[in-house]
Chains A and B, each alone.
Chain A
């Protein structure tokens, strides 16, 4: 993959998480997201916790000094709940985290589980007041008779403390399971989407939300598709898209009407009849949709491929990349072991020239749009020496297996990379395996 100064090579930088092979279910990473500057990297897990890493800005003038991400804050975002009316447990798993653009010294993010969205404020405290007149430093009240003079308390430096506090709780607006949250470019509103509805919220108002998309049929027996992902356009605050389990994407314009049930654009590629099978419907279900940073394209991920759509062309994608086509003949086994239901995400790099998505066996794939090249890399502890260059991996689809190739039957389907994120400006990527977070950087020549 060519970049300035020759081919890009990815090197191991860090890995976060337990080394244990025995994975505790609560530690399973369920979402990964860089903030808008890339300085902060947030992860959410199945246990409802959010862990934020901060990049230590080391000497940027000497690029060979790699800046590391270290734990900045950890907090319990969501707890398990019980819906007594329906006798249903509500999982605390964090489905999505989205950062708000920074407005002041504090950082804000939205985190959501299946039913409730929360706005968290993450702020730093590095000074504390000392020298109160009525209190001792340890908090005990002074004997008033012993006070003979007045002093002005001073702020003295202290060890950095990072506090996370829930500022808003947006609850009770979703009957079905929330799959997406997206902050609008107006920085005032955001959307949340569940299987059948998309709601619009104002960040300041928690007791009300507007329903802008509702695809619930009058008779649930006629249900044929659900909403799988939704996102606001990065620049046009009136535009949003939502993807469906049928492989279609609808673009809606909120200026057209209050209820956006009628789409402005419908993106759909006709199905290739030669690929028809029992499982055609499942594998065409879109698991993720992401606008490009420039707002001209959007990317969708279905089970076997990544598609890039031009917003001006609805009848087919402009680019299609096969992630793991060798799995097409294994769909029946993947159905039996539930892997066919895995929801892979995808992401763009900062300048929209490369896209990335995960696969099985802890493989992840990058597609260089400009140079029409792709690469498969692996996140594993074996390749985790500092600055070790990652070797491209190859899956052998049949016939003689070459050296260093891995055959399809040897792939470990329990090791899946569902969540990946790319730094908004630099070539730094975060890749989540089941319970570990790998950070890779492009080797600077």
Chain B
């Protein structure tokens, strides 16, 4: 997939995500209560859109380092930059258990670990899955907590370790929808 198509798909996916989220919220005020069938279909579309959004961003990242979608990434990851330096040491243990042999990996691990810590601070207890917090976080795709590590040129993205915020953020979108959808039942 070339960069242009990836960007188009990305924009389309983002748009569909936005539309879906607004539909999900609108359905909460509908007469007769939440419709399980409709909510399920919405969450399926959101999941597809999210997957395509993330995979098309992956395609973009290696090919265009300075392209527009990267901008929000840079601004959001810059506060984490200073922290990156002191972190690598404690992260060696974590990195060691990973299969990655790339020397840059601890860096991205640190990034993600930072995010996890940040997220933990926000949520106090990750298991509790504070719905309120996550709801705000995923109110609109532009604010998607896509706290993915900013890749250095030439770096490859490896499978996110368990508990990383990327998986957390990605899953939370769908988990959020279903969690929010189902509570009344």
Write the residues of chain A forming the contact surface with B, with a CB cutoff of 8 angstroms: 83, 86, 88-91, 93, 114, 175-177, 195-196, 220-221, 223-226, 228, 245, 278-279, 281-282, 285, 332, 335-336, 338, 341
Tell me the minimal C-beta distance from A420 to chain B in angstroms: 22
Looking at chain A's contact residues, the main secondary structure is: loop
Q: In the complex the two chains form, what is the Cα distance from A278 to B12 in whole Å? A: 10
Q: Please determine whether A341 and B41 come into contact, CB atoms closer than 8 angstroms.
A: yes
B32 engages A220 (CB within 8 Å): no
Q: Which residues of B contact A93 (CB under 8 A)?
A: 32
Q: Which residue of the partner chain B has the closest CB to A224? A: B40
Give the total number of A-B pairs whose CB atoms are below 8 A apart: 71
Chain A, Cβ-Cβ closest to B32: A91
- Given A281-B45, A282-B44, A335-B45, A176:B175 Cβ within 8 A: no
Determine whether the beta carbon of A88 is less than 8 Å from that of B33: yes
Decide if A336 touches B32 in the complex (CB within 8 Å): no
A177 adjacent to B35 (CB under 8 Å): yes
Interface residues on B, range: 20 to 34
**Complex: how many Å from CA A86 to CA B13?**
34
Given the known interface contacts A221-B175, A335-B16, the answer about A177 and B44 at a Cβ–Cβ threshold of 8 Å is no
CB-CB contacts below 8 Å: B164-185 with A: 175, 178-179, 182, 184-185
Q: List 23 A-B contacts (CB under 8 A).
A: A88-B33, A89-B31, A89-B32, A90-B32, A91-B31, A114-B32, A220-B185, A221-B175, A221-B179, A223-B36, A225-B40, A226-B36, A245-B40, A278-B48, A278-B52, A281-B41, A281-B44, A281-B45, A282-B44, A282-B45, A332-B16, A336-B19, A341-B41
A279 near B45: Cβ-Cβ < 8 Å: yes
Whole-angstrom distance between the Cβ of B25 and the nearest chain A Cβ = 14
Given contact pairs A176-B36, A278-B48, enumerate 14 new A-B contacts (beta carbons under 8 Å): A93-B32, A176-B185, A177-B32, A221-B182, A225-B40, A228-B37, A245-B41, A279-B45, A281-B41, A281-B48, A282-B45, A335-B19, A335-B45, A336-B19
Asked if B133 is at the interface of the complex by the 8 Å CB criterion, the answer is no
Chain B's closest residue to A221 (CB) is: B178
CA gap between A226 and B178 in the complex, in Å: 14
A223 in contact with B178 given A176-B36, A335-B16 (CB within 8 Å): yes
A173 to chain B, nearest CB (A): 15
Q: For B31, list chain A residues within 8 Å (CB).
A: 89, 91
- Residue among B16, B32, B36, B44 making CB contact with A195, cutoff 8 Å: B36
- A interface footprint on B25-59 (CB within 8 Å = 1, 0 otherwise): 00000011101111011001100110010000000
Q: Are the C-beta atoms of B33 and A86 separated by less than 8 Å?
A: yes
Closest to B49 in A: A278
Q: Which residues of B contact A226 (CB under 8 A)?
A: 36-37, 40
Shortest Cβ distance from A175 into B: residue = B185
Known contacts being A91-B31, A332-B16, is A223 close to B37, with CB within 8 Å?
no
* Bound CA–CA A245/B179 (angstroms): 19
* Pairs A-B, 6 closest by C-beta atoms: A88-B33, A91-B32, A220-B182, A195-B36, A281-B44, A226-B37
Across the interface, name the chain B residue whose C-beta is closest to A114: B32
- Minimum CB distance partner of B43 in chain A: A223
* CB atoms of A223 and B40 under 8 A apart: yes
Which of B32, B38, B179, B182 has the most CB atoms of chain A within a 10 A radius of its CB?
B32
Residue of A nearest to B52 (CB): A278
